[in-house]
Amino acid sequence: MTERPAVVFGDVHGRADLLALLIGQIRSRFGSEVDIYSLGDLIDRGPNSRTVIDICIKEGVQAILGNHELWMHKYLVLGQFDDFALHRMMAGDKTLQSYGVTSRDPGEIERTLKGRMPREHIEYFLKMPVWRKVLASGRTFFLNHAGLKKKDAESHIGVALARVATGKSGLTVDEALLAEVGQKNPAAVLWEANSFKNPAFWQFENACQVLGHTPTPTADPILTQNWMALDTGCGTRRSVLTGVVLQTREVLQVNALTSGMGVHSNGYTDFSM
């Protein structure tokens, strides 16, 4: 049986127009026989977060949580709106407006937002995990929004090893580590920014982690043997949305500034691990 292609794309931030173009590229290339994954930060900043979620649901995109989904997840679970979402850095007001909520009063938002959201959108947000495991061409890829750093992994690896040693978890050490971090310190893989000049990512055993969150220095993704960074600035002035075919490392891109679309191969970037 032929393995289905797996395509992962970076942060979207409400740019439904670019997401539609990228999905169009993917469908033109692979038809319906493809698995599509999001690295989170689908919402906020851009003008059409609701439409982004519509597209993801329609196209079967399997998403993980980004830090920009956290305030929505908290609201849907606890009924509490975190007004940090209104900070200009977050620009969650754009997401609220896309659902027809124009108030900036936290109490009013708490009372009205859920009633403006389609049931399938609520379920989509609530089902987003902190990380995903994807198998492609015999290799394991761990998708998490901001990337697991060495310092955070080292703080939790002992507990992960102990869990695996019991033989009851059914997890590999890598999976147990991500599960422990996701449960005890989710900010480590959701909020912590990356330094691409001095990368300090955890090196998984026989696996590659795929991440977004921090825009790369240029409009190109960074692909190394042990990690891939796919946030190329969608929702910022750069407005480039990038996806990567895990099996072939081909890069799919759409660029709002040039109206350009492209597919190209990308070998390992020369970064020390």
Instruction: Check which CATH number belongs to the domain holding 74 and give it.
Output: 3.60.21.10
Residue 145 lies in a domain: no
Q: In terms of residue numbers, what domain contains 250?
A: 6-133+209-265
259 against 89, higher pLDDT = 89
Residue 119 lies in a domain: yes
Residue 180 lies in a domain: no
Residue 181 lies in a domain: no
| Range of lowest pLDDT (80-89, 105-114, 167-176) | 167-176
Residue 159 lies in a domain: no
Q: For residue 269, is pLDDT > 50? A: no
| Range of lowest pLDDT (142-156, 170-184, 259-273) | 259-273
Inter-residue contact 73 to 126 (CB < 8 Å):
yes
Looking at the DSSP bridge assignments, the partners of residue 133 are: 142
Cα distances (Å, whole numbers) of residue 107 to 21, 80, 143, 255: 37, 9, 35, 38
pLDDT given for residue 266 in this prediction = 57
Residue 179 lies in a domain: no
pLDDT given for residue 264 in this prediction = 59
User: Which pairing describes strands 250-255 and 35-38: parallel, antiparallel, or unpaired?
Assistant: unpaired
Residue 164 lies in a domain: no
Model confidence, pTM = 0.94
Q: Tell me: the pLDDT tens digits for 238-249?
A: 899 999 999 999
Which among 38, 92, 41 is positioned nearest to 66, based on CA atoms? 41
Residue 127 lies in a domain: yes
pLDDT given for residue 272 in this prediction = 32
Q: Tell me: the pLDDT tens digits for 159-195?
A: 999 999 998 789 999 999 999 999 999 999 999 999 9
- Provide the domain count of the chain: 1
Q: For residue 267, is pLDDT > 90? A: no
- Average confidence (pLDDT) over 121-147: 97
pLDDT given for residue 167 in this prediction = 82
CA gap 157, 200 in Å, rounded:
16
pLDDT given for residue 260 in this prediction = 55
Share the mean pLDDT of the chain: 93
pLDDT given for residue 273 in this prediction = 31
